[in-house]
Amino acid sequence: AQSVTQLDSQVPVFEEAPVELRCNYSSSVSVYLFWYVQYPNQGLQLLLKYLSGSTLVKGINGFEAEINKSQTSFHLRKPSVHISDTAEYFCAVTRNMLTFGGGTRLMVKP
Amino acid sequence: ETGVTQSPTHLIKTRGQQVTLRCSSQSGHNTVSWYQQALGQGPQFIFQYYREEENGRGNFPPRFSGLQFPNYSSELNVNALELDDSALYLCASSLVGSDGYTFGSGTRLTVV
């Protein structure tokens, strides 16, 4: 079985500040890891994915994530956020089907 | 390449009715999966279709059923609608054995 826990339901941050959205996962086998973003009234857009290899993964819009297999974490980071980054972010894990966390609402304030 | 298209975008149904949601896969993709996203929650896996057969199912009752057609498009059917079925329903297509999922914009179902 696989599961995903997003540790923060909401993260408020000021514009141009750094941000980290936390994600822990559990799985009895090796899995692929993803971060998706969802803007209001829209579907899911892939930010980045980890399949294998380097523990640091770079994605779109300046986001990156680092997998820590000993702590089973896959936290998402951005060094400087913009107002337009305000959205819901979902961490997901897959072996044969996607399992999502509950989401983290990133609120960027001016 | 075309993306994933879902129809309709919004739908209002009465408790006890039946509903059919539709999804057109991205070109080149042969697998379709459906997710239910209740307000304020993450998407929950309903089921997946490959070669017109269900090949994975989440924790949803049998009144949730689906079809996949030879052109890889898909339908999600829900019978005997309940108020808790109100949610955003997302469709995702992929190529079996790959790691890429493309999501549609979803169908917002409201049950009153």
Choose the weakest-confidence range: A8-17, B79-88, B100-109.
B100-109
> What distance in Å separates the CA atoms of residue B13 and residue B81, rounded to the nearest whole number?
8
Average pLDDT, chain A: 93
Contacts of B97 (CB under 8 A, 6+ apart): none
Extract the tokens encoding A63.
């986001």
Q: Cβ separation of B105 and A100 shorter than 8 Å?
A: no
Return the closest-CA partner of residue B29 out of B105, B107, B91, B106: B91
Mean pLDDT of B62-76: 95
Q: What's residue B78's pLDDT?
A: 98
> What distance in Å separates the CA atoms of residue B38 and residue A40, rounded to the nearest whole number?
14
Smallest CA–CA distance, residue A30 to chain B, in Å, is 13
**pLDDT category of residue A41 using cuts at 50, 70 and 90:** confident
Bridge partners, A56 (sequence order): A66
Q: With contacts defined as CB-CB under 8 Å, which chain B residues touch A8?
A: none
> What tens digit of pLDDT does each residue of A10-22 get?
999 999 999 999 9
Return the closest-CA partner of residue B108 out of A101, A52, A42: A42
Mean pLDDT of A54-79: 94
A83 phi, psi to nearest 5 deg: -55, -40
> What distance in Å separates the CA atoms of residue B75 and residue A73, rounded to the nearest whole number?
35
Q: What's residue B100's pLDDT?
A: 80
Q: Cβ separation of A99 and B99 shorter than 8 Å?
A: no
